[in-house]
Amino acid sequence: GRQAPDLPEVSDVPFDPQSIAYEELKSASSRSPVVYLENGIPRGLLIDVKVSRNSAVERAQAFLKTYADLLRQDDPALALEVRRTSEVFAEQVVFYQTYKGIPVYAAEIIISLDGDRVFSTVGGLLRVGVDLDINPGLSNPAA
């Protein structure tokens, strides 16, 4: 007769860091997270996660660090820098992304906060695993 295929033991299945981070987010959020994905990267999150830090910037940075795997931002060549903060309807911290220290065009994420709670993120970031040559194609005299 036919033999069942060998299936990996549960302990042999590699853990997906993004899935683990999502489960952690679900546990931390006081509402069911709504996630908008594009190419495997969240373009937007509707959540309610408490983050205790002194300032809105520090709270937003702590959130981004905690959920870097969810956002696929665990590549040391990628970094997020604060572009600006605003307080219209809520506190918002806008970050821009850099690759090896060079700003990435149109790569931003906005973290919206209400006091010590992060309630949404929106934006598009460069994904990990990108390998770009950052050296200029023209010499100074040629430019």
Domains plus CATH for the chain?
Answer: 16-124 (3.10.450)
d(C-alpha 129, C-alpha 2), whole Å: 41
Taking only the tens place, the pLDDT of each residue in 34-74 is 999 988 889 999 999 999 999 999 999 999 999 999 998 88
Question: What is the reported pLDDT for 5?
Answer: 58
Reading the block at residue 92, the tokens are 């918002």
Question: Which of 29, 26, 36 is closest to 121 using CA atoms?
Answer: 36
Reading the block at residue 81, the tokens are 């820098």
The rounded percent of the chain whose pLDDT value lies above 90 is 59
Is this structure's pTM higher than 0.85? Answer: no
Our CA dihedral for 22, 120, 104, 38, rounded to 10 degrees, sits at: 50
Taking only the tens place, the pLDDT of each residue in 87-110 is 877 899 999 999 999 998 889 999
